[in-house]
Chain A
Amino acid sequence: MKKIINNPSDIIPEMVNGLVRSYPNYLKQIEGTYVVARNDGDKKKKVGIVSGGGSGHEPLHAGFVGKGMLDAAVCGQVFTSPTPDEVLAAIKESDQGMGVLLIVKNYSGDVMNFDIAKDMAEMEDIKVEQVIVDDDIAVEDSTYTQGKRGVAGTILVEKIIGSAAENGMSLEDLATLGKKVIEQTKTIGVALKPATVPEVGKPGFEIADDEIEYGVGIHGEPGYKREKLVESKKLVEELITKLDASYDGLSGKKFAVLTNGLGATPLMEQYVFMNDVLNKLEEKKANVLFTKVGSYVTSLEMAGVSLTLLELTDDEWLKELNDSANTIGWGDTNVR
Protein backbone atom coordinates (compact mmCIF):
# COMPACT_ATOMS: atom_id res chain seq x y z
CA MET A 1 0.00 0.00 0.00
CA LYS A 2 1.40 3.35 -1.08
CA LYS A 3 -0.53 6.34 0.30
CA ILE A 4 0.19 9.86 1.51
CA ILE A 5 -1.06 9.39 5.05
CA ASN A 6 0.09 9.37 8.66
CA ASN A 7 -1.58 6.95 11.02
CA PRO A 8 -4.45 5.29 9.06
CA SER A 9 -6.81 5.84 12.00
CA ASP A 10 -6.17 9.63 11.87
CA ILE A 11 -7.18 10.03 8.22
CA ILE A 12 -10.68 11.40 8.79
CA PRO A 13 -9.78 14.13 11.33
CA GLU A 14 -6.74 15.11 9.27
CA MET A 15 -8.69 15.15 6.00
CA VAL A 16 -11.51 17.27 7.48
CA ASN A 17 -8.97 19.69 8.98
CA GLY A 18 -7.10 20.01 5.70
CA LEU A 19 -10.36 20.63 3.83
CA VAL A 20 -11.87 23.31 6.07
CA ARG A 21 -8.54 25.10 6.58
CA SER A 22 -8.07 25.28 2.81
CA TYR A 23 -11.52 26.76 2.14
CA PRO A 24 -12.50 28.77 5.23
CA ASN A 25 -14.74 31.08 3.18
CA TYR A 26 -16.84 28.10 2.20
CA LEU A 27 -16.58 25.53 4.97
CA LYS A 28 -16.31 25.03 8.69
CA GLN A 29 -16.14 21.97 10.92
CA ILE A 30 -18.74 21.55 13.67
CA GLU A 31 -16.68 21.22 16.82
CA GLY A 32 -16.31 17.73 18.22
CA THR A 33 -17.67 16.11 15.05
CA TYR A 34 -16.66 15.31 11.48
CA VAL A 35 -19.54 17.39 10.17
CA VAL A 36 -18.60 19.96 7.52
CA ALA A 37 -21.03 22.88 7.27
CA ARG A 38 -21.48 26.11 5.31
CA ASN A 39 -19.36 29.05 6.41
CA ASP A 40 -20.24 31.54 3.66
CA GLY A 41 -22.44 33.80 5.76
CA ASP A 42 -24.93 34.06 2.90
CA LYS A 43 -27.54 31.82 4.45
CA LYS A 44 -31.17 32.64 3.90
CA LYS A 45 -34.09 31.03 5.70
CA LYS A 46 -34.83 27.76 3.93
CA VAL A 47 -35.11 24.00 4.39
CA GLY A 48 -31.78 22.52 5.48
CA ILE A 49 -30.20 19.94 3.16
CA VAL A 50 -27.90 17.35 4.73
CA SER A 51 -26.06 14.45 3.19
CA GLY A 52 -23.15 12.27 4.17
CA GLY A 53 -21.76 8.79 4.15
CA GLY A 54 -18.50 6.94 4.35
CA SER A 55 -15.38 8.87 3.33
CA GLY A 56 -13.15 7.96 0.40
CA HIS A 57 -15.53 9.40 -2.23
CA GLU A 58 -14.25 12.98 -2.20
CA PRO A 59 -15.28 15.54 -3.26
CA LEU A 60 -18.59 13.83 -2.29
CA HIS A 61 -20.20 14.95 0.06
CA ALA A 62 -18.34 17.75 1.86
CA GLY A 63 -17.20 19.29 -1.45
CA PHE A 64 -20.84 19.98 -2.31
CA VAL A 65 -21.53 21.97 0.84
CA GLY A 66 -22.35 25.55 -0.08
CA LYS A 67 -25.06 27.92 -1.25
CA GLY A 68 -27.33 26.11 -3.71
CA MET A 69 -26.41 22.57 -2.66
CA LEU A 70 -25.85 21.12 0.84
CA ASP A 71 -25.93 22.91 4.19
CA ALA A 72 -23.88 20.23 5.89
CA ALA A 73 -22.20 16.92 5.12
CA VAL A 74 -21.27 14.16 7.56
CA CYS A 75 -17.94 12.43 6.97
CA GLY A 76 -17.88 8.80 8.15
CA GLN A 77 -14.81 6.59 8.40
CA VAL A 78 -13.50 5.31 5.06
CA PHE A 79 -16.32 3.43 3.28
CA THR A 80 -18.20 3.31 6.60
CA SER A 81 -21.46 5.10 7.37
CA PRO A 82 -21.23 7.95 9.88
CA THR A 83 -22.90 7.43 13.26
CA PRO A 84 -26.34 8.84 14.27
CA ASP A 85 -24.92 11.41 16.74
CA GLU A 86 -22.84 12.93 13.93
CA VAL A 87 -25.82 13.02 11.56
CA LEU A 88 -27.89 14.62 14.34
CA ALA A 89 -25.25 17.35 14.76
CA ALA A 90 -25.51 18.09 11.02
CA ILE A 91 -29.32 18.21 11.22
CA LYS A 92 -29.24 20.65 14.16
CA GLU A 93 -26.70 22.87 12.40
CA SER A 94 -28.85 23.00 9.25
CA ASP A 95 -32.32 23.45 10.73
CA GLN A 96 -33.71 26.97 10.59
CA GLY A 97 -37.20 25.98 11.68
CA MET A 98 -38.31 24.82 8.23
CA GLY A 99 -37.08 21.26 8.65
CA VAL A 100 -34.23 19.27 7.16
CA LEU A 101 -34.05 16.91 4.20
CA LEU A 102 -31.55 14.05 4.37
CA ILE A 103 -30.09 12.72 1.12
CA VAL A 104 -28.94 9.16 1.83
CA LYS A 105 -27.25 6.66 -0.47
CA ASN A 106 -28.86 3.21 -0.37
CA TYR A 107 -26.49 1.16 1.78
CA SER A 108 -27.73 -0.74 4.82
CA GLY A 109 -25.42 1.14 7.21
CA ASP A 110 -26.23 4.62 5.90
CA VAL A 111 -29.97 3.94 5.86
CA MET A 112 -29.95 2.69 9.48
CA ASN A 113 -27.70 5.40 10.92
CA PHE A 114 -29.59 8.24 9.18
CA ASP A 115 -32.88 6.66 10.26
CA ILE A 116 -31.81 6.63 13.92
CA ALA A 117 -30.66 10.25 13.58
CA LYS A 118 -34.03 11.19 12.06
CA ASP A 119 -35.80 9.63 15.08
CA MET A 120 -33.46 11.50 17.46
CA ALA A 121 -34.09 14.83 15.67
CA GLU A 122 -37.85 14.34 15.71
CA MET A 123 -37.64 13.82 19.48
CA GLU A 124 -36.13 17.31 19.57
CA ASP A 125 -39.01 18.67 17.45
CA ILE A 126 -37.06 19.09 14.22
CA LYS A 127 -39.01 18.04 11.12
CA VAL A 128 -36.93 15.63 9.04
CA GLU A 129 -37.62 13.89 5.74
CA GLN A 130 -35.26 11.66 3.80
CA VAL A 131 -34.73 10.50 0.25
CA ILE A 132 -32.74 7.36 -0.57
CA VAL A 133 -30.62 7.49 -3.73
CA ASP A 134 -30.39 4.16 -5.58
CA ASP A 135 -29.22 4.92 -9.11
CA ASP A 136 -26.83 1.99 -9.78
CA ILE A 137 -28.56 -0.24 -12.32
CA ALA A 138 -25.80 -2.88 -12.05
CA VAL A 139 -27.77 -4.38 -9.18
CA GLU A 140 -31.26 -5.73 -9.59
CA ASP A 141 -33.77 -4.35 -7.14
CA SER A 142 -35.30 -7.40 -5.51
CA THR A 143 -36.46 -8.50 -2.09
CA TYR A 144 -33.44 -10.79 -1.98
CA THR A 145 -30.85 -8.03 -2.02
CA GLN A 146 -30.29 -4.74 -0.26
CA GLY A 147 -31.59 -3.18 -3.47
CA LYS A 148 -29.87 -0.85 -5.89
CA ARG A 149 -26.89 1.14 -4.60
CA GLY A 150 -26.45 4.90 -4.47
CA VAL A 151 -23.54 6.09 -6.65
CA ALA A 152 -22.55 9.05 -8.86
CA GLY A 153 -26.11 10.13 -9.68
CA THR A 154 -26.25 11.36 -6.07
CA ILE A 155 -24.62 14.68 -7.05
CA LEU A 156 -27.35 15.43 -9.60
CA VAL A 157 -29.96 14.75 -6.90
CA GLU A 158 -28.06 17.00 -4.46
CA LYS A 159 -27.81 19.75 -7.08
CA ILE A 160 -31.48 19.79 -8.05
CA ILE A 161 -32.71 19.54 -4.45
CA GLY A 162 -30.17 22.11 -3.26
CA SER A 163 -31.26 24.58 -5.90
CA ALA A 164 -34.98 24.02 -5.24
CA ALA A 165 -34.39 24.52 -1.49
CA GLU A 166 -32.49 27.74 -2.18
CA ASN A 167 -35.51 28.89 -4.22
CA GLY A 168 -37.77 28.34 -1.22
CA MET A 169 -39.39 24.93 -1.76
CA SER A 170 -41.01 23.31 1.31
CA LEU A 171 -39.68 20.19 3.04
CA GLU A 172 -42.53 17.97 1.83
CA ASP A 173 -42.20 19.17 -1.76
CA LEU A 174 -38.42 18.69 -1.67
CA ALA A 175 -38.87 15.08 -0.53
CA THR A 176 -41.34 14.47 -3.37
CA LEU A 177 -39.02 16.18 -5.86
CA GLY A 178 -36.08 14.09 -4.64
CA LYS A 179 -37.98 10.84 -5.14
CA LYS A 180 -39.03 11.86 -8.67
CA VAL A 181 -35.47 12.82 -9.66
CA ILE A 182 -34.05 9.58 -8.20
CA GLU A 183 -36.55 7.52 -10.23
CA GLN A 184 -35.17 9.10 -13.41
CA THR A 185 -31.47 8.79 -12.46
CA LYS A 186 -29.56 5.73 -13.62
CA THR A 187 -25.86 4.94 -13.39
CA ILE A 188 -23.62 2.14 -14.57
CA GLY A 189 -19.87 1.89 -14.08
CA VAL A 190 -16.79 -0.03 -15.13
CA ALA A 191 -13.67 -0.62 -13.03
CA LEU A 192 -10.11 -1.15 -14.29
CA LYS A 193 -8.26 -1.31 -10.97
CA PRO A 194 -9.43 -1.77 -7.36
CA ALA A 195 -9.17 0.61 -4.40
CA THR A 196 -7.35 -0.07 -1.12
CA VAL A 197 -8.98 1.00 2.15
CA PRO A 198 -6.07 2.39 4.26
CA GLU A 199 -7.01 0.53 7.45
CA VAL A 200 -7.36 -2.72 5.50
CA GLY A 201 -4.12 -2.31 3.56
CA LYS A 202 -4.91 -4.47 0.54
CA PRO A 203 -7.08 -4.03 -2.57
CA GLY A 204 -10.83 -4.62 -2.20
CA PHE A 205 -10.86 -7.09 -5.10
CA GLU A 206 -8.42 -8.71 -7.48
CA ILE A 207 -8.46 -8.16 -11.21
CA ALA A 208 -5.87 -9.06 -13.85
CA ASP A 209 -3.92 -6.27 -15.58
CA ASP A 210 -5.75 -6.82 -18.86
CA GLU A 211 -9.24 -7.24 -17.36
CA ILE A 212 -12.14 -4.89 -16.59
CA GLU A 213 -15.30 -5.43 -14.59
CA TYR A 214 -18.66 -3.88 -15.43
CA GLY A 215 -20.99 -2.76 -12.66
CA VAL A 216 -18.51 -2.57 -9.79
CA GLY A 217 -19.83 -0.49 -6.87
CA ILE A 218 -18.07 2.52 -5.33
CA HIS A 219 -16.82 0.37 -2.46
CA GLY A 220 -15.56 -2.36 -4.79
CA GLU A 221 -18.79 -4.36 -4.62
CA PRO A 222 -18.74 -7.00 -7.36
CA GLY A 223 -20.15 -6.16 -10.77
CA TYR A 224 -22.07 -8.22 -13.29
CA LYS A 225 -19.49 -9.10 -15.92
CA ARG A 226 -15.74 -9.34 -16.31
CA GLU A 227 -13.90 -9.32 -19.62
CA LYS A 228 -10.63 -8.37 -21.35
CA LEU A 229 -9.97 -4.64 -21.64
CA VAL A 230 -11.62 -3.18 -24.74
CA GLU A 231 -11.40 0.24 -26.41
CA SER A 232 -13.42 3.18 -25.09
CA LYS A 233 -16.06 2.91 -27.85
CA LYS A 234 -16.78 -0.71 -26.87
CA LEU A 235 -17.03 0.20 -23.19
CA VAL A 236 -19.51 2.93 -24.05
CA GLU A 237 -21.50 0.54 -26.21
CA GLU A 238 -21.87 -1.92 -23.32
CA LEU A 239 -22.87 0.77 -20.79
CA ILE A 240 -25.29 2.60 -23.09
CA THR A 241 -26.94 -0.70 -24.05
CA LYS A 242 -27.62 -1.30 -20.34
CA LEU A 243 -28.97 2.22 -19.85
CA ASP A 244 -31.04 2.03 -23.03
CA ALA A 245 -32.76 -1.12 -21.77
CA SER A 246 -33.29 0.40 -18.35
CA TYR A 247 -35.02 3.49 -19.85
CA ASP A 248 -36.98 1.43 -22.42
CA GLY A 249 -35.20 3.34 -25.16
CA LEU A 250 -33.42 6.69 -25.27
CA SER A 251 -34.71 8.11 -28.55
CA GLY A 252 -36.40 11.50 -28.34
CA LYS A 253 -35.92 11.76 -24.58
CA LYS A 254 -34.15 14.65 -22.85
CA PHE A 255 -31.12 13.84 -20.69
CA ALA A 256 -28.48 15.20 -18.37
CA VAL A 257 -25.26 13.19 -18.79
CA LEU A 258 -22.54 12.75 -16.18
CA THR A 259 -19.24 11.00 -16.79
CA ASN A 260 -17.67 10.39 -13.41
CA GLY A 261 -14.08 9.32 -12.75
CA LEU A 262 -13.68 6.77 -9.96
CA GLY A 263 -10.44 8.22 -8.58
CA ALA A 264 -7.41 7.15 -10.58
CA THR A 265 -8.67 7.62 -14.12
CA PRO A 266 -7.29 10.85 -15.62
CA LEU A 267 -9.59 13.54 -17.01
CA MET A 268 -7.99 12.96 -20.40
CA GLU A 269 -9.47 9.46 -20.50
CA GLN A 270 -12.77 10.72 -19.11
CA TYR A 271 -13.07 13.20 -22.02
CA VAL A 272 -12.25 10.44 -24.53
CA PHE A 273 -14.95 8.31 -22.92
CA MET A 274 -17.47 11.21 -22.87
CA ASN A 275 -16.78 11.91 -26.55
CA ASP A 276 -17.79 8.33 -27.33
CA VAL A 277 -20.80 8.63 -25.02
CA LEU A 278 -22.04 11.74 -26.81
CA ASN A 279 -21.52 10.10 -30.21
CA LYS A 280 -23.48 7.07 -29.12
CA LEU A 281 -26.29 9.17 -27.63
CA GLU A 282 -26.47 11.15 -30.88
CA GLU A 283 -26.73 7.90 -32.78
CA LYS A 284 -29.54 6.82 -30.42
CA LYS A 285 -31.28 10.17 -31.05
CA ALA A 286 -31.24 11.10 -27.37
CA ASN A 287 -31.50 14.82 -26.65
CA VAL A 288 -28.57 15.84 -24.40
CA LEU A 289 -29.27 19.11 -22.54
CA PHE A 290 -26.73 19.03 -19.72
CA THR A 291 -23.24 17.53 -19.53
CA LYS A 292 -20.66 17.16 -16.81
CA VAL A 293 -17.29 15.38 -16.71
CA GLY A 294 -14.96 14.88 -13.77
CA SER A 295 -14.14 12.90 -10.65
CA TYR A 296 -17.01 13.81 -8.33
CA VAL A 297 -17.92 10.53 -6.65
CA THR A 298 -14.68 8.65 -6.32
CA SER A 299 -13.71 5.36 -4.78
CA LEU A 300 -10.25 6.14 -3.38
CA GLU A 301 -7.73 5.18 -6.11
CA MET A 302 -10.05 2.92 -8.08
CA ALA A 303 -9.51 3.27 -11.82
CA GLY A 304 -12.59 3.40 -14.00
CA VAL A 305 -15.59 5.55 -14.80
CA SER A 306 -19.31 5.57 -14.30
CA LEU A 307 -21.91 6.94 -16.66
CA THR A 308 -25.06 8.56 -15.29
CA LEU A 309 -28.12 9.58 -17.25
CA LEU A 310 -30.92 11.64 -15.75
CA GLU A 311 -34.03 11.83 -17.88
CA LEU A 312 -35.24 15.43 -17.65
CA THR A 313 -38.96 14.71 -17.45
CA ASP A 314 -39.50 18.09 -15.81
CA ASP A 315 -38.08 21.26 -17.43
CA GLU A 316 -37.43 22.82 -14.02
CA TRP A 317 -34.70 20.23 -13.37
CA LEU A 318 -32.49 21.61 -16.14
CA LYS A 319 -32.76 25.10 -14.65
CA GLU A 320 -31.90 23.71 -11.24
CA LEU A 321 -28.88 21.87 -12.64
CA ASN A 322 -27.71 25.07 -14.32
CA ASP A 323 -28.28 27.32 -11.29
CA SER A 324 -25.05 28.51 -9.73
CA ALA A 325 -23.77 26.57 -6.73
CA ASN A 326 -21.18 28.14 -4.50
CA THR A 327 -19.26 24.98 -3.58
CA ILE A 328 -15.70 23.82 -4.02
CA GLY A 329 -16.75 20.58 -5.76
CA TRP A 330 -19.44 21.40 -8.31
CA GLY A 331 -17.48 23.92 -10.34
CA ASP A 332 -18.81 26.35 -12.93
CA THR A 333 -22.17 25.52 -14.39
CA ASN A 334 -24.58 26.53 -17.12
CA VAL A 335 -22.40 24.83 -19.69
CA ARG A 336 -24.95 24.65 -22.50
Chain B
Amino acid sequence: MIRLIQLDGVTQMLDSKQIQKWMQLFAKEIATNKEYLSDLDDAIGDGDHGNNMDRGMIAVIENLEEKNPTEIADSFKVIAMALMTKVGGASGPLYGTAFLEMAKAAQNSEDLAELIAAGTAGIAKRGGASAADKTMLDVWIPTSEVLKNGQLTAEKVDSFVESTKDMQGKKGRSSYLGERSIGHIDPGAASSGMLFKTLIEVTK
Protein backbone atom coordinates (compact mmCIF):
# COMPACT_ATOMS: atom_id res chain seq x y z
CA MET B 1 0.00 0.00 0.00
CA ILE B 2 1.10 3.56 -0.63
CA ARG B 3 -0.44 6.71 0.77
CA LEU B 4 -1.45 9.95 -0.82
CA ILE B 5 -2.53 13.04 1.10
CA GLN B 6 -5.71 14.47 -0.38
CA LEU B 7 -6.87 18.07 -0.73
CA ASP B 8 -9.06 17.80 2.37
CA GLY B 9 -6.11 16.55 4.41
CA VAL B 10 -7.36 12.98 4.49
CA THR B 11 -4.75 10.36 3.71
CA GLN B 12 -5.85 7.91 1.09
CA MET B 13 -4.25 4.48 0.82
CA LEU B 14 -3.67 2.94 -2.59
CA ASP B 15 -3.09 -0.75 -3.29
CA SER B 16 -2.01 -2.51 -6.46
CA LYS B 17 -5.65 -2.92 -7.56
CA GLN B 18 -6.04 0.85 -7.53
CA ILE B 19 -2.78 1.28 -9.43
CA GLN B 20 -4.25 -1.04 -12.03
CA LYS B 21 -7.44 1.03 -12.07
CA TRP B 22 -5.33 4.18 -12.48
CA MET B 23 -3.59 2.67 -15.49
CA GLN B 24 -6.91 1.59 -17.01
CA LEU B 25 -8.24 5.14 -16.74
CA PHE B 26 -5.00 6.52 -18.16
CA ALA B 27 -5.06 4.03 -21.05
CA LYS B 28 -8.65 5.01 -21.83
CA GLU B 29 -7.77 8.70 -21.74
CA ILE B 30 -4.82 8.11 -24.09
CA ALA B 31 -6.97 6.05 -26.50
CA THR B 32 -9.68 8.74 -26.52
CA ASN B 33 -7.15 11.52 -27.12
CA LYS B 34 -4.80 9.63 -29.45
CA GLU B 35 -5.38 12.01 -32.34
CA TYR B 36 -5.21 15.10 -30.15
CA LEU B 37 -1.78 14.02 -28.82
CA SER B 38 -0.53 13.23 -32.32
CA ASP B 39 -1.78 16.61 -33.54
CA LEU B 40 0.15 18.36 -30.75
CA ASP B 41 3.21 16.33 -31.73
CA ASP B 42 2.65 17.15 -35.40
CA ALA B 43 3.07 20.86 -34.64
CA ILE B 44 6.47 20.58 -32.92
CA GLY B 45 7.64 16.98 -33.36
CA ASP B 46 6.92 14.08 -35.68
CA GLY B 47 3.24 13.48 -35.07
CA ASP B 48 3.27 10.03 -33.50
CA HIS B 49 2.99 10.59 -29.74
CA GLY B 50 -0.65 9.53 -29.55
CA ASN B 51 -0.13 6.30 -31.49
CA ASN B 52 3.04 5.41 -29.59
CA MET B 53 1.50 5.99 -26.16
CA ASP B 54 -1.64 4.08 -27.13
CA ARG B 55 0.43 1.07 -28.23
CA GLY B 56 2.34 1.25 -24.92
CA MET B 57 -0.72 1.56 -22.71
CA ILE B 58 -2.45 -1.37 -24.39
CA ALA B 59 0.65 -3.41 -23.44
CA VAL B 60 0.60 -2.02 -19.89
CA ILE B 61 -3.01 -3.14 -19.34
CA GLU B 62 -2.37 -6.57 -20.90
CA ASN B 63 0.74 -7.15 -18.78
CA LEU B 64 -0.92 -5.98 -15.54
CA GLU B 65 -3.84 -8.34 -16.18
CA GLU B 66 -1.56 -11.23 -17.06
CA LYS B 67 1.02 -10.81 -14.27
CA ASN B 68 -1.46 -9.46 -11.73
CA PRO B 69 1.19 -8.03 -9.35
CA THR B 70 0.18 -7.61 -5.71
CA GLU B 71 3.08 -5.46 -4.52
CA ILE B 72 3.13 -1.78 -5.52
CA ALA B 73 6.80 -1.97 -6.54
CA ASP B 74 6.00 -4.90 -8.85
CA SER B 75 3.06 -3.03 -10.37
CA PHE B 76 5.29 -0.10 -11.26
CA LYS B 77 7.95 -2.45 -12.61
CA VAL B 78 5.45 -4.18 -14.92
CA ILE B 79 4.24 -0.76 -16.13
CA ALA B 80 7.84 0.41 -16.67
CA MET B 81 8.87 -2.63 -18.71
CA ALA B 82 5.76 -2.48 -20.90
CA LEU B 83 6.32 1.21 -21.66
CA MET B 84 10.06 0.77 -22.18
CA THR B 85 9.59 -2.10 -24.64
CA LYS B 86 6.45 -1.06 -26.51
CA VAL B 87 6.43 2.72 -26.93
CA GLY B 88 9.80 3.39 -28.58
CA GLY B 89 10.84 6.90 -29.56
CA ALA B 90 11.78 9.22 -26.71
CA SER B 91 8.58 8.76 -24.70
CA GLY B 92 9.20 5.03 -24.14
CA PRO B 93 12.49 5.35 -22.28
CA LEU B 94 11.34 8.49 -20.44
CA TYR B 95 8.02 7.10 -19.15
CA GLY B 96 9.69 3.70 -18.65
CA THR B 97 12.49 5.21 -16.58
CA ALA B 98 9.98 7.23 -14.52
CA PHE B 99 8.00 4.11 -13.53
CA LEU B 100 11.18 2.08 -12.98
CA GLU B 101 12.46 4.74 -10.53
CA MET B 102 9.03 4.76 -8.86
CA ALA B 103 9.28 0.97 -8.51
CA LYS B 104 12.72 1.30 -6.91
CA ALA B 105 11.52 4.06 -4.55
CA ALA B 106 8.46 1.98 -3.58
CA GLN B 107 10.77 -0.51 -1.88
CA ASN B 108 11.67 2.09 0.76
CA SER B 109 8.76 4.51 0.81
CA GLU B 110 5.02 4.37 1.05
CA ASP B 111 4.53 8.00 0.13
CA LEU B 112 3.30 8.45 -3.46
CA ALA B 113 4.63 12.02 -3.50
CA GLU B 114 8.14 10.67 -2.85
CA LEU B 115 7.68 8.04 -5.53
CA ILE B 116 6.65 10.60 -8.11
CA ALA B 117 9.58 12.82 -7.10
CA ALA B 118 11.87 9.82 -7.76
CA GLY B 119 10.17 9.30 -11.14
CA THR B 120 10.69 12.98 -11.97
CA ALA B 121 14.40 12.74 -11.13
CA GLY B 122 14.63 9.67 -13.37
CA ILE B 123 13.13 11.52 -16.34
CA ALA B 124 15.49 14.45 -15.83
CA LYS B 125 18.53 12.16 -15.68
CA ARG B 126 17.56 10.03 -18.69
CA GLY B 127 16.62 12.91 -20.96
CA GLY B 128 19.05 15.53 -19.67
CA ALA B 129 16.31 18.17 -19.60
CA SER B 130 15.58 20.80 -16.93
CA ALA B 131 12.52 22.82 -15.94
CA ALA B 132 11.17 25.15 -18.65
CA ASP B 133 12.76 23.18 -21.53
CA LYS B 134 9.20 22.51 -22.80
CA THR B 135 9.05 18.81 -21.94
CA MET B 136 7.00 16.41 -19.83
CA LEU B 137 9.17 17.52 -16.88
CA ASP B 138 7.25 20.80 -16.83
CA VAL B 139 4.27 18.79 -15.61
CA TRP B 140 6.15 16.23 -13.48
CA ILE B 141 8.23 18.78 -11.51
CA PRO B 142 5.36 21.04 -10.31
CA THR B 143 3.05 18.04 -9.80
CA SER B 144 5.54 16.33 -7.51
CA GLU B 145 5.90 19.62 -5.59
CA VAL B 146 2.18 20.15 -4.93
CA LEU B 147 1.62 16.45 -4.23
CA LYS B 148 3.81 16.76 -1.13
CA ASN B 149 1.27 19.06 0.52
CA GLY B 150 -1.81 17.35 -0.83
CA GLN B 151 -2.54 20.32 -3.08
CA LEU B 152 -2.95 18.53 -6.41
CA THR B 153 -6.07 19.45 -8.37
CA ALA B 154 -7.14 18.85 -11.96
CA GLU B 155 -7.07 22.63 -12.52
CA LYS B 156 -3.45 22.79 -11.41
CA VAL B 157 -2.47 19.91 -13.67
CA ASP B 158 -4.16 21.71 -16.58
CA SER B 159 -2.24 24.88 -15.78
CA PHE B 160 1.08 22.96 -15.75
CA VAL B 161 0.28 21.48 -19.16
CA GLU B 162 -0.80 24.89 -20.47
CA SER B 163 2.43 26.52 -19.17
CA THR B 164 4.46 24.64 -21.79
CA LYS B 165 2.67 26.59 -24.53
CA ASP B 166 4.75 29.74 -24.05
CA MET B 167 8.04 27.90 -23.59
CA GLN B 168 10.70 27.43 -26.28
CA GLY B 169 11.70 23.80 -26.88
CA LYS B 170 15.25 23.01 -25.80
CA LYS B 171 15.26 19.20 -25.86
CA GLY B 172 14.11 16.62 -28.39
CA ARG B 173 12.62 17.39 -31.77
CA SER B 174 10.88 20.63 -30.77
CA SER B 175 14.33 22.15 -30.18
CA TYR B 176 14.95 22.20 -33.95
CA LEU B 177 12.09 24.69 -34.28
CA GLY B 178 13.64 27.21 -31.88
CA GLU B 179 11.29 30.15 -31.40
CA ARG B 180 8.73 28.56 -33.71
CA SER B 181 8.01 25.99 -30.99
CA ILE B 182 6.42 28.75 -28.89
CA GLY B 183 2.61 28.73 -28.97
CA HIS B 184 2.20 24.95 -28.93
CA ILE B 185 1.54 22.69 -25.94
CA ASP B 186 4.21 20.00 -25.52
CA PRO B 187 2.71 16.58 -26.33
CA GLY B 188 4.67 14.79 -23.57
CA ALA B 189 3.42 17.38 -21.08
CA ALA B 190 -0.14 16.80 -22.33
CA SER B 191 0.03 13.01 -21.88
CA SER B 192 1.66 13.50 -18.46
CA GLY B 193 -1.25 15.78 -17.55
CA MET B 194 -3.62 12.92 -18.42
CA LEU B 195 -1.58 10.59 -16.19
CA PHE B 196 -1.95 12.85 -13.16
CA LYS B 197 -5.58 13.78 -13.79
CA THR B 198 -6.51 10.11 -13.90
CA LEU B 199 -4.57 9.67 -10.63
CA ILE B 200 -6.81 12.32 -9.06
CA GLU B 201 -9.84 10.51 -10.46
CA VAL B 202 -8.84 7.15 -9.00
CA THR B 203 -8.25 8.62 -5.54
CA LYS B 204 -11.59 10.43 -5.41
Chain A residues with CB under 8 Å of chain B are: 9, 54, 76-86, 107-109, 112-113, 115-116, 139, 144-146, 149, 197, 199-200, 202, 204, 217, 219-222
Q: How far is the CB of A84 from chain B (nearest CB, A)?
A: 6
A86 — which chain B residues lie within 8 A by C-beta?
Answer: 85
Q: If A77-B52, A144-B170, A221-B173 touch, does A113 touch B38 (CB 8 Å cutoff)? A: no
Q: Which of A78, A115, A146, A200 touches B38 (beta carbons < 8 Å)?
A: A200
A115 — which chain B residues lie within 8 A by C-beta?
Answer: 93
Query: How far, in whole Å, are A220 and B46 apart by their CA atoms in the complex?
Result: 7
Q: Which of B47, B52, B84, B88 touches A204 (beta carbons < 8 Å)?
A: B47
B51 — which chain A residues lie within 8 A by C-beta?
Answer: 199-200
Q: If A199-B51, A221-B173, A222-B176 touch, does A82 touch B46 (CB 8 Å cutoff)? A: no
A107 — which chain B residues lie within 8 A by C-beta?
Answer: 90, 173
Q: Which of B47, B88, B172 touches A197 (beta carbons < 8 Å)?
A: B47
Query: How far, in whole Å, are A220 and B176 apart by their CA atoms in the complex?
Result: 11
Q: Which 3 A-B pairs have the closest CB atoms?
A: A109-B90, A145-B175, A112-B93
* 17 CB-based A-B contacts, threshold 8 Å: A54-B89, A76-B88, A77-B89, A78-B48, A83-B92, A85-B85, A108-B127, A109-B92, A112-B93, A116-B84, A146-B175, A200-B48, A202-B42, A204-B47, A220-B46, A222-B176, A222-B180
B173 touches A146 (CB 8 A): yes
Q: How far is the CB of B104 from chain A (nearest CB, A)?
A: 15
A85 — which chain B residues lie within 8 A by C-beta?
Answer: 84-85
Query: How far, in whole Å, are A83 and B94 apart by their CA atoms in the complex?
Result: 12
Query: How far, in whole Å, are A112 and B48 apart by their CA atoms in the complex?
Result: 17
B93 touches A84 (CB 8 A): yes
A146 — which chain B residues lie within 8 A by C-beta?
Answer: 171-173, 175-176
Q: If A81-B89, A108-B173, A109-B90 touch, does A219 touch B84 (CB 8 Å cutoff)? A: no
Q: If A145-B176, A204-B47 touch, does A109 touch B170 (CB 8 Å cutoff)? A: no
Q: If A146-B173, A200-B42 touch, does A108 touch B90 (CB 8 Å cutoff)? A: yes
Q: Who on chain A is nearest to B94 by CB?
A: A112
Q: Which of A84, A144, A197 touches B48 (beta carbons < 8 Å)?
A: A197
Q: Which of B47, B89, B91 touches A200 (beta carbons < 8 Å)?
A: B47
Q: How far is the CB of A73 from chain B (nearest CB, A)?
A: 15
B177 — which chain A residues lie within 8 A by C-beta?
Answer: 222
B46 touches A219 (CB 8 A): yes
Q: How far is the CB of A118 from chain B (nearest CB, A)?
A: 12
Q: Who on chain A is nearest to B135 by CB?
A: A108
A80 touches B89 (CB 8 A): yes
B42 — which chain A residues lie within 8 A by C-beta?
Answer: 200, 202, 204
B52 — which chain A residues lie within 8 A by C-beta?
Answer: 77, 80
A109 — which chain B residues lie within 8 A by C-beta?
Answer: 88-93
Q: Who on chain B is nearest to A86 by CB?
A: B85
Q: A113-B93, A146-B176, A222-B176 are in contact. List 16 more A-B contacts (CB 8 A).
A: A80-B88, A81-B88, A81-B92, A83-B87, A85-B84, A86-B85, A107-B173, A109-B88, A112-B127, A146-B173, A197-B47, A199-B48, A200-B51, A204-B42, A222-B177, A222-B180
Q: Who on chain A is nearest to B48 by CB?
A: A80
Q: Which of A77, A108, A139 touches B88 (beta carbons < 8 Å)?
A: A77
Q: Who on chain A is nearest to B177 by CB?
A: A222
Which residue, of A76, A77, A112, A217, has the highest number of chain B Cβ atoms within 10 A? A112
Query: How far, in whole Å, are A144 and B169 apart by their CA atoms in the complex?
Result: 8
A145 touches B170 (CB 8 A): yes
B197 — which chain A residues lie within 8 A by C-beta?
Answer: none
Query: How far, in whole Å, are A83 and B175 apart by their CA atoms in the complex?
Result: 22
Interface residues of B in 119-155 (CB under 8 A from A): 126-127
Q: Who on chain A is nearest to B52 by CB?
A: A80
B126 — which chain A residues lie within 8 A by C-beta?
Answer: 112
B173 touches A113 (CB 8 A): no
B90 touches A112 (CB 8 A): yes
Q: Who on chain B is nearest to A114 by CB?
A: B93
Query: How far, in whole Å, are A217 and B173 apart by their CA atoms in the complex?
Result: 10
Interface residues of B in 57-109 (CB under 8 A from A): 84-94, 96
Query: How far, in whole Å, are A115 and B96 apart by their CA atoms in the complex?
Result: 13
B46 touches A83 (CB 8 A): no
Q: Which of A116, A200, A219, A221 touches B93 (beta carbons < 8 Å)?
A: A116
As a 0/1 sequence over residues 23 to 59 of chain B, the CB contacts with chain A under 8 angstroms (1 = contact) are: 0000000000000001000100011100110010000
Q: How far is the CB of A165 from chain B (nearest CB, A)?
A: 27
Query: How far, in whole Å, are A157 and B92 apart by their CA atoms in the complex?
Result: 27
Query: How far, in whole Å, are A145 and B177 apart by their CA atoms in the complex?
Result: 9
B172 — which chain A residues lie within 8 A by C-beta?
Answer: 108, 146
Query: How far, in whole Å, are A146 and B90 apart by their CA atoms in the complex?
Result: 12
